[in-house]
Amino acid sequence: MFTVKVPATSANLGPGFDTLGLALQLYLEIKVKIIPPSGGIRFFVDGEEYPEEIFGDNLLYQAMKIVFAEAHVVEVPGLELTINSSIPPGKGLGSSAAAIVAGLYAANEVLE
C-alpha cells in the first residue's frame, strides 16, 4: 500500500499570471492498495464505495489507464483506491491537474 498526495496550485498571481506558481495546503490524496485478483479497481470516496463504471470519465482513472496502455499492460492489477480531496473543483486551484498527476504517479508506482 502506498499514498500519493498532490497539492492544489495557483498560477494566477497578479503580475506573475501564468508565470509564477504556488502550491497550497489543500491536497488530493489517494491511497493505493494492490489486491488480488487482477483486473478490477475498487473506488472509495469519503468512505463510500463506488462502482468502476461511474469513474469512466474521471481524470485520475483516465490518467491511470493511459499509463497502463502505454506500458502494454494487458490485465490491470486489482487495485483499491481510496480518494480524499480538499481541493474544491472549479475554483482555479488545479483540481483537474492534481487528479491527472495523482493518476499518472499512482499507475507508475503500481508498475514498479
Residue spans per domain, the chain: 2-111
Task: State the DSSP string of 18-79.
Answer: TT--EEEEEEEEEEEEE-SSSS-EEEEETTEEE-GGGGTT-HHHHHHHHHHHHTT-SSPPPE
Cα–Cα dist 66/43, whole Å = 18
Predicted confidence at residue 108, as pLDDT, reads 96
Question: What pTM did the predictor assign?
Answer: 0.87
pLDDT band (50, 70, 90) for residue 69 = very high
Considering the segment(s) 2-111 as one domain, its CATH architecture is 2-Layer Sandwich (3.30)
Reported as a single tens digit per residue, the pLDDT across 35-65 is: 987 778 889 998 899 888 888 889 999 999 9
Higher pLDDT, 51 or 18: 51
